[in-house]
Amino acid sequence: MESQLGLCVESFDLRYSGWVREALNELPDCFTITDPCVSGHPIVFASNGFLKMVGYSSEEVIGRNGRMFQGPETDRRSVMVIREAIREEKGVQISMLNYRKDGTPFWMLFQMCPVFSKEDGRVINFVGVQVPLSRRPRLSGIRLRNDAMSLCDDGGGLRDIRCCRREVCSDSILEMGRASSMESVSSLDDQEDKINMPCEANELEKTKATAAVKNILSVLTHYSQYTGRLVCGKRCCSTGNARLVSSLNISLGRIKQSFVLTDALLPEIPIVYASEAFLKLTGYARHEVLGKNCRFLSGNDTDPATQFEIKECIRNQQACTVRILNYRKDRSPFWNFLHISPVRIASGKVAFFVGIQIDDRCMDRETRGLGPEMRQLSVVGAVKVAVRSLSMGASTS
């Protein structure tokens, strides 16, 4: 969990300057920011207002998926609407039931929008604003007690009221008091039952959520300028497979093996996705890998003949398996049992190449489960299924 927390903090800090957290916390709104490029699509920032609303600390939230706030009565259809919006990289506004740390449910208006990289059009964050929805209190029990008192008040003041209580209305008040008490108890039960009934946002709450999103995007846009990794609220450009890759991030994040996905439609066939296991194997951070050709792993003693074999297989759009000497970020060498395979989209066109790496030293430890070849082929299969299904959806929408 600590490594996931550190990864999320690093992911957020690399995109925006150090002052962004202070600026975001000056906003009065309740919101979270998530990163679909990190495995599990975790929360990388949670505002002070949001933490106060749900009762969690920052350490308990950062690195976790937003599912942690759902509960037994959360409408599954609302969850599916949000998931679909994430997959299609679009905004959504929906009312839903969530739960605080102490288990109490509450209705909120959830408004989410993607944040795009201005450089290549990829989705790099999602902003999720939560506006608690107000419910009108049930006043029937209060009205009943007030009505009982009004029966005793004939305009004669407190003396007449006391008299009325003693002589005239005692039985009535006791009876109505019992009814009122019973209604108060049933009112609490009803309140508990009806908290799960759909609660719609009013126009003021919708306007508040929309304004909050705009303010947050303004802060993120401003502070991304200091790092040169500019973001915007709309997709400014989309080159090659950028949109498809962005949609694939969550699916690819479930694959635990070391692999990269390269874009076959761009010059130099750059890396557009790198798994967490690949980053751990090579020692590089994600921002140091994306956009580069895999040749950056080569070094002085890398065999040129093996490099040429890889180049020819890519040129002919064929799969290949080689053993190649590569280098980590600290320049320590390792023998890489590498498998490369073309990945086609629904139209049949080769859009990507997937490269799966296995440290040669780890191969001897494989005594149970899948061997290295089968592990590589399983990754190829998972990537191909994800790409094919998403590209089919994109072609029909």
Q: Domain extents for the chain? A: 2-135+200-232, 140-194, 242-396
Burial letters 42-66, b for 16+ CB under 10 A, else e:
bbbbbbebbbebbebeeeebbbbeb
Q: What is the pLDDT of residue 242?
A: 66
Quote the CATH superfamily of domain 242-396. PAS domain (3.30.450.20)
pTM: 0.64
Q: What is the pLDDT of residue 247?
A: 72
What is the Cα–Cα distance from 223 to 14, expressed in whole angstroms?
11
Q: What is the pLDDT of residue 39?
A: 79
Amino acid identity of 381?
Answer: G
Q: pLDDT digits over 169-199, tens only?
A: 445 444 555 555 455 445 545 555 555 667 8
Q: Do domains 2-135+200-232 and 242-396 have the same CATH topology?
A: yes
Q: Which CATH number fits domain 2-135+200-232: 3.40.50.300, 3.30.450.20, 1.10.3720.10, 1.10.10.60?
A: 3.30.450.20
Determine the Cα angle at 210 with ends 207 and 211, to 5°: 85
Q: Which residue ranges of the chain lie beneath pLDDT 70?
A: 1-4, 6, 135-197, 237-243, 246, 363-370, 392-397
Q: What is the pLDDT of residue 239?
A: 53
Q: What is the pLDDT of residue 342?
A: 95
Q: What is the pLDDT of residue 335?
A: 95
Q: What is the pLDDT of residue 369?
A: 61
Q: What is the pLDDT of residue 87?
A: 82
Q: What is the pLDDT of residue 347?
A: 83
* Concatenated DSSP letters of 309-359: HHHHHHHTT--EEEEEEEE-TT--EEEEEEEEEEEE-TTS-EEEEEEEEEE
Which residue from 275, 261, 272 is spatially nearest to 342, judged by alpha carbons? 261
